Amino acid sequence: MNLRKRALSEGWYPVSGAETRLFLDRAAETIQENPPLRGALACMVPHAGWYFSGALAARGIYTLDATAETVVVLGGHLPASYPVLYAEEDGAETPLGVLEMDGEFRGALREVLGGRGDRGADNTVEIQLPLVKYFFPNARLLHLRLPAGRESFEAGTILGKTARALGRKTVVIASTDLTHYGPDYGFTPRGLGSRALDWVKKTNDAAFIASVIAGDAEDILARAEADRSACSAGAVLGALGFAREHGARNAVPVAYGTSADRHAAPSFVGYGVIAWYR
């Protein structure tokens, strides 16, 4: 079997299966203290290192329909001019074992969408794979990255139609962080300190989250670009298109946080979790 190897260093997520399971067991226990509604068609989760956002990502992925046969992870970090990128391997390594790729689904989708292979390292998808293996131990994987353009909404719609045509019970994970603020990111419109953090939480990230909940694809793109409030908007549009195609009526905010919740610093990143339900 041709496997996609781990590319991210240990600082992103644990190396050993025991450490990975311990982290996720603890996250699952915390989720059970105040569990969100399950059965979601799709979710938006952050993709920073697990120390900062792993528990939030776990909470989002927990919302998904646990009976799914294929889990699609949509990543990003691609400008609008890029094609859809597919992982072409037979499976992906995780500390909890191999995630088998859904080659039939990938082939059917690629016939319609086109695109090309993706062999480069990218945190947006990889950081989610151990969580997928933990919550969906028997499911297969579709590993995609989508560009930050309106066409990614259409790609999500086609993803939904292809799943239906194949009779494949499918859920989608959209992987994006929100505002990257501070001198490390060259973005300080409200200076530094508590005033800046408050603005990111209550204004900049809040506006992007509101656009996602409203399901306004054009506004999602516009805010991500003009406000610098999301780094992988194409993934969000793909999840939105998929959810709409499968009859989603509700987008529900599940959780929110920032890296400053874990480590106070002049530079920080916002994290939002949203789930789409019928």
Q: What is the CATH number of the domain that holds 167?
A: 3.40.830.10
In a domain, 10, yes or no: no
What's the CA gap between 186 and 184, in Å, rounded?
6
In a domain, 74, yes or no: yes
Among 184, 145, 143, 165, smallest CA distance to 246 is for 165
Sheet strands side by side (includes 99-100) = 3-4, 91-92, 99-100
In a domain, 46, yes or no: yes
In a domain, 8, yes or no: no
State the pLDDT confidence band at 1, using cuts at 50, 70 and 90: confident
- Which whole number is the average pLDDT over 126-155? 97
In a domain, 5, yes or no: no
State the pLDDT confidence band at 107, using cuts at 50, 70 and 90: very high
State the pLDDT confidence band at 120, using cuts at 50, 70 and 90: confident
Asked whether the beta carbons of 176 and 46 are under 8 A apart, the reply is: yes
Domain that holds residue 92: 21-265+269-277
Mean pLDDT of the chain: 97
- Which whole number is the average pLDDT over 100-107? 98
In a domain, 32, yes or no: yes
pLDDT value at residue 191 = 97
State the pLDDT confidence band at 172, using cuts at 50, 70 and 90: very high
In a domain, 84, yes or no: yes
pLDDT value at residue 119 = 80
- Which whole number is the average pLDDT over 241-262? 96
Predicted structure pTM score: 0.97
Among 145, 146, 90, smallest CA distance to 121 is for 145
In a domain, 250, yes or no: yes
Asked whether the beta carbons of 124 and 44 are under 8 A apart, the reply is: no
State how far the alpha carbon of 122 is from the alpha carbons of 44, 68, 208, 250, 262, in Å.
Answer: 17, 25, 23, 30, 23
- Total domains present in the chain: 1
- Which whole number is the average pLDDT over 217-244? 97
